[in-house]
Copies of this chain bind each other. A is one copy, B any other.
Amino acid sequence: MTTRPHVVIVGGGFAGLWAARALARAPARITLLDRGNHHLFQPLLYQVATAGLSAPDIAAPLRHILRRQRNVEVQMATVSRVDADAREVELEHAGGRRRLGYDFLVLATGATHAYFGNEHWAPHAPGLKTLDDALELRRRLLLAFERAEAATDPAEREAWLSFAIIGGGPTGVELAGTLAEIARHTLEREFRHIDPARARVRLVEAGPRVLSAFPEDLSRKARRQLERLGVEVHTGAPVEDIDAQGYRCNGRFVPARTVVWAAGVSASPLGACLGAPLDRAGRVRVRPDLSVPGHPEIFVAGDLAAVEREDGRPVPGVAPAAKQMGRHVARCIRARLGGGTGPCRPFAYRDYGNLATIGRMAAVVDLGAWRFSGVPAWWFWLLAHLFFLVGFRNRLVVLLNWSVAYWTHQRAARIILGGDDRSGRN
């Protein structure tokens, strides 16, 4: 065996990467595993899907980010199983399978979109979690306008100009608002047979209001801003079926050739390997210090962890919470490496507030005591996201693209990749 304890971190998102960084000076060997080669700044993923940014603008190679941290090694591999008794993870990569032992394990594999028993909806209503998802959405959104332009049958044309976003959370709201802006402004004058501004963008939410994590007054304001941008907001509208032609809702079939799924996530299936209790979304019910019951050497951080705040409300699945959990786990491991035993102090979530963007000049901000919406909220959102984006170049490129978009209504990445085969992957 090696001399230094081995910390294996699975997942290079906010939780995993921040845990790895916070272990920079720890007397340990760290292996960070991710199935991709990059850290993704997920809050801007919808902008790649809506052709405002290129995929590389919001991602950076994990190896590059961690190149100077000599105690960490990055491996591109998929973890298929955790064997908690043997203290090993099972890896799958191009070279085959192999096992990797650990002294401490940090599971930070996040969540993926979920159809809750309606997996056959997936091909008709793709979701948005990875860069590949975003590029597939972009392809579908851009192709829909091309199809409408080429259609000769008026009903078909209308179906191609009919978009539905299922789910009124932050992702659904961002997608709907941006799509309405694209239809009304970005594509102006570019088509000869259709008027893109007549496209219908429906935001379909099962619950009584959009952005249900926000206070009610901000939900109301968000709805009004969406409607001003041209989005039709349907609340109290649970979707009953989705196929290639459209969706069914409250007993009525609505034609829509482009449907996007933003309605639900479930935790990565890896959490189920631990033998620990899971919540309904498949997240691991961890102990207050984020370790797994019965396995003090395993920690769960980020969207895969079900944790409560002091007041009993759940810690939300947002980037700041994931970063805080990553750092907390690193602190616990450092304490343990330093000779501590027993549980670490409990994780305490510091809630700095909640932001959601809606579209051009439209957003809502909830900083607890201080709530605002509209243009000031939009600027606040913009600066906050620019500030938290990883990498100097990325910030510059995103700033540049946003500035040009602001003045011209243009979007930088309106390129259809992967041919026009609707089933093609890109």
Residue positions of A touching B, CB distance < 8 A: 35-38, 51, 54-57, 59-61, 63-64, 67-68, 73-77, 93-95, 131-132, 135, 142-143, 146-147, 149-152, 156, 187-192, 392-393, 396-397, 400-401, 404, 410, 412-420, 422, 424-426
Contact = CB atoms under 8 A, between A and B. Distances in A.
Contacts of A35: 419-420
A415 B191 contact: no
A417 B94 contact: no
A411 to B, nearest CB: 9
A38 to B, nearest CB: 5
Contact of A55 (B396, B415, B420, B422): B415
A416 B94 contact: no
Nearest to A31: B192
A94 B152 CA distance: 12
Contacts of A187: 63
A296 B56 CA distance: 47
Contact of A414 (B61, B94, B397, B410): B61
Nearest to A413: B56
B67 A190 contact: yes
B64 A190 contact: yes
* Chain multiplicity (copies): 2
A131 B55 CA distance: 14
Given A54-B55, A135-B417, A146-B76, A412 B425 contact: no
Given A94-B147, A146-B76, A425-B425, A38 B415 contact: yes
- Of the listed residues A142, A418, A420, the one surrounded by the most CB atoms of chain B closer than 10 A to its CB is A420
A93 B419 CA distance: 11
Contacts of A67: 188-190
12 contacts: A36-B416, A38-B415, A54-B54, A56-B413, A59-B415, A61-B415, A77-B150, A93-B420, A132-B426, A397-B397, A424-B425, A426-B426
Contact of A400 (B74, B135, B400): B400
Given A35-B420, A94-B422, A418-B425, A393 B397 contact: no
Contacts of A396: 400, 404
A151 to B, nearest CB: 6
Contact of A37 (B57, B401, B415, B426): B415
